[in-house]
Structure 1
């Protein structure tokens, strides 16, 4: 909760009214500025530039944005409210000065950044081991991520969505979501059909060919209301559909002029980048990654304007040949296609297999975190009906991603094109929903990574394995300290272990969570790989060894 100091400053020339206030670390500062000058188009005819000075003296250049009447109303020439947003990363007093690109008089102000109720910060690659994500590069985080697919749900009653969707995700330990409503360009009939009727389905940010004239400020406010809830609860939000609506019958990015692209990205960054939990800018699904005028050009604009350095990616459907080495991309978003063959039709029957997920994650790694954005065994929605993946396939593919040193998202929603949020066909958190079984599988994996190993010190090490069927056993390890081997078929295998005494050892049943304690294992110099046999062939087993 922001605590306001009663320091009111009024600029008589512009009618500017704002309050100095206290803002928590990594939360969002916001103030509004009134400009009564007449402009033909208030989005484009003037810019509001802001210079922030941190308590340590660092200068950060940013800008404000036009927001109509400030409440979601107004348009390109109706309204006089501009807003300034910022996310402070230092405690102490921040000062700022703003100016207009024309002759309109500017102003200045300040706020105090406090440690109380601090946010987590920006999700970025972990600097000590870039397989993983970390807040501010230093605080590693295991992502428990869910694909929340309600394109049009921001048109429904917000409190109902929070109670029936978002709160359930938080209560079940999810700290990351992938969504379709950020940014909002298409598919508005896909909302929670067991909830209240949408207040509106007019949720397109702008009409194609009329970017400035048709900007829907109400939709920006709806998106920000939802994003703010996740931000206040420290849950990361990754945009899936991105800025190119052409793949989903929405406005095409390619039809914007270079000037319009630049404006839109700068405007988008001014509004959204001060939300610390924005966990990934994405162009759209399934693109090559190297097109200068499309996804790569978009990433370069983000890199130019996002001073907070949020994650940037593109989704590569075929990660055997990717462009994640480019500096514009800070993490990899992969799908598991063309892993086994150069043609999709030749390998469709393999898209439910855990080894295609494992290999896709390994192939996508370029010293940056990998996120399985669309694993074909991990989505009940859309892919389950196409690949016939079972919940066993889902569980195994999740472990296959984790042992490749990658994060992933999954989905257990009911229905192919209609979404519901409660009851037997809703979210996978009640026993009435058959995919609550998968949620339990994911939770077992989640607890293992958080409680049984120090995942952020581990990397994929399949080369340590031998005497097993190819591509059927996977190893994640910090050699000499901790080893995790996933054995989905309960087969025998050998593991090359560095010398030492390993006393904290057990088999974990990936289905039930059952644990079977193992005795001390002592490995001496020049000893051959140690052979292991899973307790049975009826389930998936995870071997954990720790010094």
Structure 2
């Protein structure tokens, strides 16, 4: 009897030692959190819980296999409790197919094991070898919720695509404020951003933390989503940079220990962004601090930083990793990463992320900067696209065309984004400067898209209210959000854009762009209206002709010429109004 009791006691102890909670909806594209009871430790423990332990969980279902890095989670509820200690260790996993999944835990201990290349000789921890199964159903989400669409991933085209519903992605986003995460109600964050004007945009039932915290930033995301914006750009680290108010560590000048409660609160925000259809454009550093970690190389500090970001946030269905804002060396930023450093960091991040999320990099503004920084990256298969900054917004179309074509020739089709326009003091001005916003509509938004670009994000210049570092109210650019949505909505509704090519030479009007899939569809953008002629000499199909108003969106409009037959140059008639910009849409008749 005594032996039986001892056996039962041992089984019970083993169960407690290896127990885990599984939280989240067991559905495709939903986050499932596995929380294990492991070593009881704390953020500042001499045996570093972030660096000297390594949790990885392998998930398999048939031919599908993911090795997901885990992380230290303190008491498992740190977003609410602000805990810095505890025995909870967590992995977040998002399954891509239904059915029965199997998981198996690897848990190692040893100096710097979290970032080691060879892990064969490290001590196995108490969780190592634990395994189990769980069943996953289809998602029930609909509409803009990213869980209804699936993971956003690179393709062989110049566009990202949602893995679930196969929808191709055109970006229309907010680039400012870059220090979005400098929000005063995140733990360990300087008291800067409050976003008070967006508290009223918070809806009953939306997420909060610690009682009533988060209404300003959650409401702001609701507002952007309501305007049809689908992407938000922000830094996860600006130590020694412009804002000096965002970092994932326990202190601004710490490099090896992470603020568990702050990062858990970021996760609350990111999960809400999934729900309201906002892709998270995560920028990991900026030009002022690109050599802060490991002096620019990819060694222990940088590897640990990236591992923590990937472990805690890569599971989200809409993630873009941007390896650095304004990356490179220039006369006003003389201390920067070299070509070797840049490639090393890009390739490490690509290899680290188990889901294959997009990896991009942001440029300095001049064409010379582009040549110096971007050219050596051509054909690098770890880099999925370029996030361009340009000083002169009128260069948007030519810049997009140039680098789209260059990437094609290199054998690796990049996504080409325009994510910041100059001059830096202006960017996109507030709504009381409508003429400048009209120029942005013509020479940035439509210029990028009609050149086969993947979309734009809007930067707010530092000389104007609600700028890139002090923006508290996104309604200051309410009009630009509308015009951005009119463009992205047109592309999504009417164009098979992933199959189309820029071909401006087909149209006879100056200041016009043509984007086409010969034999199927043509889209022509006229900056100032007019009576365009389209060269269909090599295309004998018949097409319907309709007009779209990029200033107000809405339904297609029709003029006297409703159909044209190819085999020659054809007149499309006059735009509905002259001296305004218009889009002409030709679609093959059935």
Q: TM-score, normalised by structure 1?
A: 0.79
Partner of 1:415: 466
Deviations 1:189-215 (A, max 9, x none): 69xxxxxxxxxx685535576412x43
| 1:352-371 matched pairs, under 5 angstroms | 352-353=393-394, 356-365=395-404, 366=407, 367-371=413-417
| 1:387-466 matched pairs, under 5 angstroms | 390-396=436-442, 397-406=444-453, 407-410=455-458, 414-416=465-467, 419=470, 421=472, 426-428=473-475, 433=476, 435-465=477-507
For the pair 1:109 / 2:161, whether they are aligned, the reply is no
Deviations 1:300-332 (A, max 9, x none): 111221110000011133445532431110122
Judging changes above 3 Å, is the alpha-carbon distance between structure 1 residues 516 and 293 closer, same or farther for their aligned structure 2 residues?
Answer: same
**1:464 & 1:483 partners in 2: Cα distance?**
10
**2:67 & 2:218 partners in 1: Cα distance?**
38
Partner of 1:346: none
Q: CA deviation at 1:20?
A: 4.7
Q: Could you tell me whether the CA contact under 8 Å between 2:35 and 2:89 is conserved in 1?
A: yes
For the pair 1:480 / 2:522, whether they are aligned, the reply is no
Q: CA deviation at 1:485?
A: 0.8
**2:290 & 2:435 partners in 1: Cα distance?**
28
State the secondary structure of the residue aligned to 1:155.
Answer: coil
Partner of 2:152: 123
Partner of 2:223: 168
Judging changes above 3 Å, is the alpha-carbon distance between structure 1 residues 16 and 389 closer, same or farther for their aligned structure 2 residues?
Answer: farther
More helix by share: 2
Q: Could you tell me whether the CA contact under 8 Å between 1:445 and 1:510 is conserved in 2?
A: yes
| 1:44-59 matched pairs, under 5 angstroms | 44-54=51-61, 56-59=62-65
**1:500 & 1:255 partners in 2: Cα distance?**
55
> Aligned match of 2:385 in 319, 326, 331?
331
**2:250 & 2:298 partners in 1: Cα distance?**
15
Corresponding pairs, count: 489
**1:230 & 1:62 partners in 2: Cα distance?**
22
Partner of 2:232: 177
For the pair 1:69 / 2:75, whether they are aligned, the reply is yes
**2:302 & 2:381 partners in 1: Cα distance?**
20
| 1:248-267 matched pairs, under 5 angstroms | 251-252=292-293, 254=295, 258-267=299-308
Q: Could you tell me whether the CA contact under 8 Å between 1:151 and 1:187 is conserved in 2?
A: no
| 1:500-539 matched pairs, under 5 angstroms | 500-503=541-544, 505-513=545-553, 515-525=557-567, 527-528=568-569, 530=571, 533-539=574-580
Judging changes above 3 Å, is the alpha-carbon distance between structure 1 residues 502 and 374 closer, same or farther for their aligned structure 2 residues?
Answer: same
State the secondary structure of the residue aligned to 1:409.
Answer: strand
**1:204 & 1:44 partners in 2: Cα distance?**
15
Q: Identify which range, 472-481 or 20-29, moves more after superposition.
A: 20-29
Partner of 1:277: 318
Q: Could you tell me whether the CA contact under 8 Å between 2:58 and 2:65 is conserved in 1?
A: yes
Q: Could you tell me whether the CA contact under 8 Å between 1:207 and 1:251 is conserved in 2?
A: no
Q: TM-score, normalised by structure 2?
A: 0.73
Q: Could you tell me whether the CA contact under 8 Å between 2:294 and 2:301 is conserved in 1?
A: no
**2:485 & 2:345 partners in 1: Cα distance?**
36
State the secondary structure of the residue aligned to 1:222.
Answer: helix
Q: CA deviation at 1:250?
A: 9.8
**2:183 & 2:458 partners in 1: Cα distance?**
21
Q: Could you tell me whether the CA contact under 8 Å between 1:185 and 1:204 is conserved in 2?
A: no
Structure 1 gap segments, 5+ residues each? 1-8, 191-200, 338-350
> Aligned match of 1:151 in 165, 175, 180?
180
Q: CA deviation at 1:357?
A: 0.8
State the secondary structure of the residue aligned to 1:24.
Answer: coil
**1:161 & 1:207 partners in 2: Cα distance?**
24
**1:293 & 1:221 partners in 2: Cα distance?**
34
Deviations 1:488-520 (A, max 9, x none): 1235543212212212x1233332448343424
Structure 2 gap segments, 5+ residues each? 1-10, 109-122, 142-146, 186-211, 330-335, 408-412
Judging changes above 3 Å, is the alpha-carbon distance between structure 1 residues 207 and 294 closer, same or farther for their aligned structure 2 residues?
Answer: farther
State the secondary structure of the residue aligned to 1:279.
Answer: strand
**2:102 & 2:401 partners in 1: Cα distance?**
45
> Aligned match of 2:100 in 71, 93, 114?
93
Judging changes above 3 Å, is the alpha-carbon distance between structure 1 residues 380 and 301 closer, same or farther for their aligned structure 2 residues?
Answer: same
